[in-house]
Amino acid sequence: MCPDPGGLRRADAASDAALAEGVKSKEEMPEVARFFGIVVRMYFADHSPAHFHAEYGEHEALVEIETLSVLRGDLPRRAMALVLEWAALHRQELRADWERARGGAPLEPIAPLD
C-alpha cells in the first residue's frame, strides 16, 4: 500500500517532541496488532483517556478508544481510515487491553484487518 501524497501530514513539531520524549522500551509498549504496515501499540502506565498508538512508517497517531478521535499526531489518510475501521471492530478488546496495561498485565493480541 502506497500512501497518498495528498494525505500525508506530519504531526506538528510539539507533538513530535512529545512523542520523542516519551520513547519507551519494547517491554513498555507492546504491540497488540499489525496490519497493512500499521503497528498498534499500548503503553503500560500511559496517561488517560484510554487510547492506543498507531504507527505507520514515520507517522504516529494516538487514538482515543471510546470516541475514536485523534488525540495527537496524524497518519496518512488511507492508513487512518484502516486504523479507525479496525478500532471500531475491536473496541471491546481495546478496552480490555487498556485495563490490562493499566494493571501491568500482559496484553492480548487483537486480530488484524483482513
Closest CA to 65 of 49, 78, 81: 49
Neighbours of 106 (CB within 10 A): 9
Contact 95, 107 (CB under 8 A): no
pLDDT digits 0-9 by tens, 46-100: 889 999 999 999 999 999 999 999 999 999 999 999 999 999 999 999 999 999 9
Specify if 4 maps to a domain.
Answer: no
What is the predicted pLDDT for the residue at 46? 86
Contact 12, 61 (CB under 8 A): no
Question: How many structural domains does the chain have?
Answer: 1
pLDDT digits 0-9 by tens, 5-43: 333 333 333 334 334 444 445 456 899 999 999 999 999
Please work out, in degrees rounded to the nearest 5, the angle formed at the alpha carbon of residue 50 by the alpha carbons of 107 and 83: 75
Specify if 1 maps to a domain.
Answer: no
Specify if 7 maps to a domain.
Answer: no
Specify if 43 maps to a domain.
Answer: yes
3-state SS, residue 54 = strand
- Provide the whole-model pTM: 0.76
| Sign of the torsion formed by the C-alpha atoms of 45, 47, 52 and 54 | negative
**Helix (H) and strand (E) counts for the chain?**
3, 5
Specify if 51 maps to a domain.
Answer: yes
Domain range holding 40? 27-102
